[in-house]
């Protein structure tokens, strides 16, 4: 992505940041977009939430997220991340680096292992677009692997019916954190709207 193209994404988001002191930043998953199932629900109960469409290359996605966070931390008081699937993996890295709260929804723990089988042409779930996922891009995910966490930073939402990820891996990794583990469900997290009050309370909104 060209710098000018990235600025077209970042600048409108930065204008939003100037308006509200408390903010949710939603980080979507691998084949997703900002206003996906969960992103759209977050916008309903937190209209000022940021739900950017991330570039698919991990380093570009992280650069965009860090630009937003750095700008926000200079101009506001409170920021809470919400990350789903691969977005949960990114959110964990960012929560530790910037000492932020993060709400993780069926998060990826070992991104390299999880996304190795996806190498090739990948279709985005919410539109007709696709992208080429390569071994080099997969390797870039290693830069954001976290082995030690600060348990108080996290609220982790898991559903046992997730057929994409084994919920037990995340439950073990985040065992010292605030955990919500539900029976059945799915990878996209069924009945996500029911978690509104829990999310807002954890984020201190």
Per-residue pLDDT tens digits for 9-49: 566 665 555 555 568 999 999 999 999 999 999 999 999 99
Phi, psi of 74 (to 5 degrees): -85, -20
The first and second tokens of residue 79, run together, are: 């920021």
Task: Find out whether 14 and 64 touch, Cβ atoms under 8 Å.
Answer: no
Task: Find out whether 90 and 69 touch, Cβ atoms under 8 Å.
Answer: no
Report the half-sphere exposure of 80 (CA within 13 A, side-chain side): 23
Beta-bridge partner residues of 102: 81, 154
Nearest residue to 36 (alpha-carbon basis) of 103, 100, 87, 90? 87
Q: How confident is the model at residue 8 (pLDDT cuts 50, 70, 90)?
A: low
Nearest residue to 170 (alpha-carbon basis) of 89, 60, 98, 67? 89
DSSP class per residue in 136-182: HHHHHGGGG--S---GGGEEEEEETT-SSS-HHHHHHHTTTSEEEEE
55-113 pLDDT, tens digit per residue, is: 999 999 999 999 999 988 887 667 999 999 999 999 999 999 999 999 999 999 999 99
């Amino acid at each position: 992505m060209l710098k000018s193209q990235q600025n077209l994404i970042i600048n409108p988001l930065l204008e939003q940041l100037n308006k509200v002191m408390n903010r949710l930043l939603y980080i979507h998953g691998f084949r997703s977009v900002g206003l996906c199932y969960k992103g759209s629900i977050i916008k309903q109960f937190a209209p000022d939430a940021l739900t950017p469409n991330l570039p698919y290359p991990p380093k570009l996605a992280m650069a965009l997220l860090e630009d937003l966070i750095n700008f926000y931390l200079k101009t506001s008081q409170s920021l809470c991340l919400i990350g789903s699937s691969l977005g949960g993996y990114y959110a964990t890295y960012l929560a530790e680096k910037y000492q932020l709260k993060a709400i993780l929804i069926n998060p990826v723990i070992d991104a390299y292992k999880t996304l190795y089988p996806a190498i090739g042409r990948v279709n985005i779930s919410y539109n007709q677009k696709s992208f080429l996922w390569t071994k080099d891009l997969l390797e870039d995910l290693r830069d954001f692997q976290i082995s030690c966490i600060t348990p108080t930073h996290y609220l982790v939402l898991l559903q046992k019916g997730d057929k994409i990820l084994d919920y037990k891996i995340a439950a073990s990794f985040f065992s010292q954190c605030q955990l919500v583990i539900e029976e059945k469900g799915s990878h996209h997290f069924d009945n996500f709207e029911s978690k509104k009050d829990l999310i807002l309370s954890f984020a201190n909104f």
